[in-house]
Amino acid sequence: MVTALPHQPAELDAVIFDYNGVIGLQPTVPMWSGLAELAGWRADQLGLFQNAFWSAREPYDSGESDDTDFWTAVLGHRPDPELLTRLRAVDTAMWTSTDDRVVALLHQARRADLPMVLLSNAPHPVGDALDASDWRALMTDALYSARLGMNKPHLDTYRNALAATGVRDPGRVLFIDDRADNCQAAARLGLRTLHYTGAPADIEDHLRLATVAA
């Protein structure tokens, strides 16, 4: 008698995690408002502030521009050193809250000896702050765009992250990101992808395969 085996997806050898929107929680409106106010925007100008913020962010994330360049572009004038220090501190702190449910899954994957690498678009201060986080020790390595000198979805960011996993075959590595364009770029290199939409069970479903296989 032939018994049909249940479908067994290929095993995972490593996972590459995006940070913000996956492990990290998006900043709340009060956080954004606090930063906008510090930067001199009125309470009813939050949308304008966010436009200015994101318009200047890419070169800051990639390490091409520094704190002064970034905030000069956002403010429209060069901030004095004291204001710059406060802007940098509030901006950085706003990206460091994590989703406890996802961090619990990182612990679970770590217990299963699954190599995990962080690949985050983050300016230097945010990368430094994330490196100081408790959960950082769970990761095999952490790659930040400002240190790489390029942002996702540049293909070399994924090549670097894959190399950091120590796994040669991208088809055995899962990339998880909340941005579809980042996932699409990763898929071009042959990485498996999970476009994360905020449900930790989706990550758990993928990691359980590796746990069972371990």
As a whole number of angstroms, the distance between CA 214 and CA 204 comes to: 15
Minimum CB distance to Mg ion, residue 25 (Å): 11
Return the residue matching tokens 């492990």.
23
d(CA 66, CA 87): 13
Residue 20 or 98: the one with the smaller Cβ distance to Mg ion is 20
How many angstroms from the chain centroid is the CA of residue 196?
Answer: 11
Considering the complex, what minimum distance in angstroms separates the CB of residue 178 from Mg ion?
4
Give the 3-state secondary structure of residue 130. helix
- Residue whose beta carbon is closest to Mg ion: 21
Question: Binding Mg ion by CB under 5 A: which of 13, 14, 18, 118?
Answer: 18
Q: Closest separation between CB of residue 95 and Mg ion, Å?
A: 10
- Give CA–CA dist 153/211, Å, rounded: 29
Query: Which residue, 41 or 92, has its beta carbon nearer to Mg ion?
Result: 92
Told to check if 21 binds Mg ion by CB under 5 A, we report yes
Compute the least distance from the CB of residue 199 to Mg ion, in Å: 15
The one among 14, 15, 20, 157 contacting Mg ion by CB under 5 A: 20
Tell me the C-alpha to C-alpha distance, in Å, between residue 181 and each of 56, 88, 160, 188, 190: 20, 28, 18, 11, 15
Taking the C-alpha atoms of residue 21 and residue 62, their distance in angstroms, rounded to an integer, is 19
The stretch near Mg ion (CB under 5 A) out of 15-23, 132-140, 168-176, 194-202 is 15-23
Question: The tokens of 190 are what?
Answer: 């042959």
Q: In terms of Cα–Cα distance, which of 197, 207, 149, 199 is closest to 16?
A: 207
Q: Which of 13, 61, 67, 178 binds Mg ion (CB under 5 A)?
A: 178
Q: Which stretch binds Mg ion (CB under 5 A): 18-26, 44-52, 156-164, 188-196?
A: 18-26
Which residue lies nearer to Mg ion by CB, 20 or 157?
Answer: 20
Total number of residues that touch Mg ion (CB under 5 A): 4
Using an 8 Å Cβ cutoff, are 9 and 88 in contact?
no
Rounded least distance, CB 92 to Mg ion, Å: 16
92 to 151, contacts with Mg ion by CB under 5 A?
none
Binding site for Mg ion (CB under 5 A): 18, 20-21, 178
